[in-house]
Amino acid sequence: MSRKRILILGNMAKPGIAEKIDEILPWLNERADVLAVCRADQPDIDQAKKADLCVVFGGDGTLLSATRALACTHVPLLGVNMGKLGFLAEYTVENLQRYLPDVLSGRVKPIERMMLKACVNNCRHHQFCATAVNDVTIHAGAPHRMIDLSVTHNGTQVSAYLGDGLIVSSPTGSTAYSLSLGGPILHPSLDAIIITPVAPHTLSLRPIVLGSCCAISITASRVNPGTAIVIDGQVTAGLCDGDTVQVTRADCPARIVPCPDRTFFDTLTDKLHWSRRPHYHNPDGPTK
């Protein structure tokens, strides 16, 4: 059987990552053909197209950036967490060394996760189109007055959103910014989109889950000079009054290699303390 080919990406700006890659590179070369080692913000697309696996050293932000850049090459991405949370980048270096043979042999298979595509098509100032792994956010920006956004789904009016903006999330992004604003948790295998308002000017406007089969159109009825569309918290473009942002399911899904050590619910519990029991006070002993 021919040897598998690996592309390595790293957030070289973060202390210790370049050194860790240098340390583990001989071990990787014994088990596969390493095509290249690249900066995560400058991935080699041609090499990615040849690779059977892309190993990304960094945090969740590094993996988000790499996933957007490489999604349409169809290469699976395995995230090695060298950051803080490690929600999407599930592997440790020890996990990588334990499970890489299973990943290369196909015993551990990548999971496809729906991505979003957001385009601003009708603005002569802001011609913009990008894919998102987590979310597409519209922020009010300076001078921080409330903005007015009108949303339709498949041409049907959903609502007018008056407030500080809104978030359009994929199931993967349901545990990111949307969750902090009261949005629901969706399993990453679902094919759905969440709209979560940011500080809405009414108590009755709540997050809503919609099918991903149809386009979501967001018209900027009234925005601020600093209002912007933000992709995964990393890519930004301005918006003007009258601009329309169209959000659809992206043609190419993300292909993320899960860690066999944990399920999605394990990750929720370990990283976000989901489903943890309250700390009850025991008058006869220590707090449990």
By annotation, the residues acting in catalysis are 60
Could you tell me which of 62, 12, 61 has the C-alpha nearest to residue 39? 12
Is 214 within 8 Å of 170 (Cβ atoms)? Answer: no
Position 112: which residue type?
E
CB 259, CB 91: distance < 8 Å: yes
DSSP letter string, 136-184: EEEE--TT---EEEEEEETTEEEEEEEESEEEEE-TGGGGTHHHHTTPP
Q: What is the DSSP letter of 44?
A: -
Tokens of 16: 């210790």
The set of long-range contacts for 78-81, using a CB threshold of 8 Å and a minimum separation of 24, is 78/53, 78/54, 78/103, 78/256, 78/257, 79/256, 79/257, 80/55, 80/56
What does the alpha-carbon distance between residue 53 and residue 75 come to, in Å, rounded to a whole number? 6
Query: Which position has the token pair 């399993």?
Result: 187
Those residues whose C-beta lies under 8 Å from the C-beta of residue 287, and which sit 6 or more positions away, are 279, 280, 281
- How many CB atoms neighbour CB 68 within 10 A? 22
